[in-house]
């Protein structure tokens, strides 16, 4: 990679702040030339504190890859199979809501083909985020939430992004091992990779270690909109840009993320983790292959040409001119993370913004600058 590439990435970061309303953004690049870190904007709008390397970040759904890697490690140890039905480990948990735990497998939980509904738009959850931002969601709450709406399809029929599948996966990890989800992620992923600045966020936490950026939101519910009436069909139409300065939501309780997205990390640790799972240095060959066996995301709108594996994304060759590009991504109120790597681990980038971007322009521009592809 050339210095010109770093300059292009820096220009994108600067533009994100100047033109897209991002309070602060960072990008960490690893390539043959070593490591490069770029930043623009601020970590704290109130004080003007700048963003910096080593910040602790909530990586949202990028944490799904940690859950999948933990599950695959247990499979490698012979303690479970991806073809095990949910009912084998969580008897009766899926009986509510019209689900059949005998027909849904662990693999389908992890690649979002279980038929579970889009949990992130569950009215109970959305209502809680608006009216009870400090609510602590325990495992029982999350398992009930996972089946609180009817199935959207038969198991294996199609892709629907469901956090509920990962709540169930987390509970299976605990059932199989007798240990907490956090302890098993630590044992199978964090400790082997030496991720010294990565941890599963305790469900009662409302703060982060220093240094960390403040987290901001800009969207609010429209006047007169009832959060209790939210449905997947009308959720987007009920939100609007407030037109006000971003609101600090750093103290939001994120226990509703848990095994679907409850990891705190840094761009450096995330880059190390991604390189390990992209290249196959964390998992045995059979489990590495399972992680990167992709399914089509169908009509789901996100990064063009992205397909989904077990907690991970990969771009099909039609969008990358034959380049195999792998990654993780996650968003939650006040945080957006995207980390990408070539499958040989030689060229990677980890990006974080402390507000959710309004569109996908920033990651698409960075992918073009880094890898020379337009995803067209």
d(CA 295, CA 313): 10
CA distance 218 to 216: 7
User: Of 156, 153, 86, 166, nearest to 120 (Cα)?
Assistant: 166
Q: pLDDT tens digits, residue range 233-291?
A: 443 444 455 566 899 999 999 999 999 999 999 999 999 999 999 999 999 999 999 99
- CATH fold group of domain 3-371: Beta-lactamase (3.40.710)
Taking the C-alpha atoms of residue 313 and residue 321, their distance in angstroms, rounded to an integer, is 17
d(CA 313, CA 320): 13
CA atoms of 104 and 154, how far apart (whole Å): 9
pLDDT bin (cut points 50, 70, 90) of residue 130 is confident
For position 231, what pLDDT does the model report? Answer: 43
* Angstrom distance (rounded) from CA 86 to CA 145: 16
HSE of 176, CA atoms in CB hemisphere, 13 A:
27
Domain positions in the chain are: 3-371
Name the residue among 215, 263, 252, 264 with its Cα closest to residue 129: 252
Q: How many CB atoms lie within 10 A of CB 289?
A: 13
List the structure tokens of 340. Answer: 């990408």
- pLDDT value at residue 323: 87
Confidence band of 220 (pLDDT split at 50, 70, 90): low
Above 60 in pLDDT, residue 334? yes
């Amino acid at each position: 990679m050339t210095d010109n590439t770093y300059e292009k990435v820096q220009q994108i970061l600067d533009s994100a702040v100047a033109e897209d309303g991002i309070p602060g953004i960072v990008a960490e690049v690893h390539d043959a030339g070593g490591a490069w870190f770029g930043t623009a904007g601020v970590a704290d709008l109130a004080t003007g504190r700048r963003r910096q390397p080593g910040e602790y970040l909530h990586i949202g759904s990028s944490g799904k890859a940690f859950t999948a890697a933990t599950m695959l490690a247990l499979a490698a140890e012979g303690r479970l199979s991806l073809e095990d039905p949910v009912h084998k480990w969580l008897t009766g948990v899926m009986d509510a809501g019209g689900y059949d735990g005998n027909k849904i497998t662990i693999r389908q939980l992890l690649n979002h083909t279980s038929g579970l509904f889009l949990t992130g738009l569950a009215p109970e959850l959305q209502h809680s985020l608006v009216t009870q931002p400090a609510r602590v969601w325990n495992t029982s709450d999350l398992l009930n939430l996972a089946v609180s709406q009817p199935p959207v399809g038969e198991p294996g029929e199609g892709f629907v992004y469901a956090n509920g599948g990962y709540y169930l996966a987390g509970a299976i990890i605990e059932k199989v091992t007798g240990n907490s989800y956090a302890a098993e992620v630590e044992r199978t992923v964090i400790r082997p990779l030496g991720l010294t600045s990565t941890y599963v966020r305790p469900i009662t936490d409302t703060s982060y270690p220093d240094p960390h950026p403040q987290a901001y939101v800009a969207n609010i519910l429209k006047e007169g909109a009832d959060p209790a009436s939210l449905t997947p069909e009308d959720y987007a139409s009920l939100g609007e840009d407030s037109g006000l300065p971003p609101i600090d939501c750093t103290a939001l309780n994120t226990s509703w993320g848990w095994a679907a997205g409850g990891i705190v990390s840094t761009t450096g640790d995330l880059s190390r983790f991604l390189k390990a799972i992209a290249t196959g240095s964390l998992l045995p060959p059979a489990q590495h292959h399972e992680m990167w066996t992709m399914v089509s995301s169908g009509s789901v709108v996100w990064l063009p040409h992205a397909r989904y594996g077990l907690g991970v994304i990969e771009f099909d060759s039609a969008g990358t001119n034959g380049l195999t590009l792998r990654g993780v991504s996650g968003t939650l109120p006040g945080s957006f993370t995207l980390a990408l790597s070539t499958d040989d681990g030689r060229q990677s980038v980890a990006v974080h913004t402390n507000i959710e971007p309004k569109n996908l322009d920033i990651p698409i521009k960075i992918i073009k600058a880094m890898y020379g592809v337009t995803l067209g």
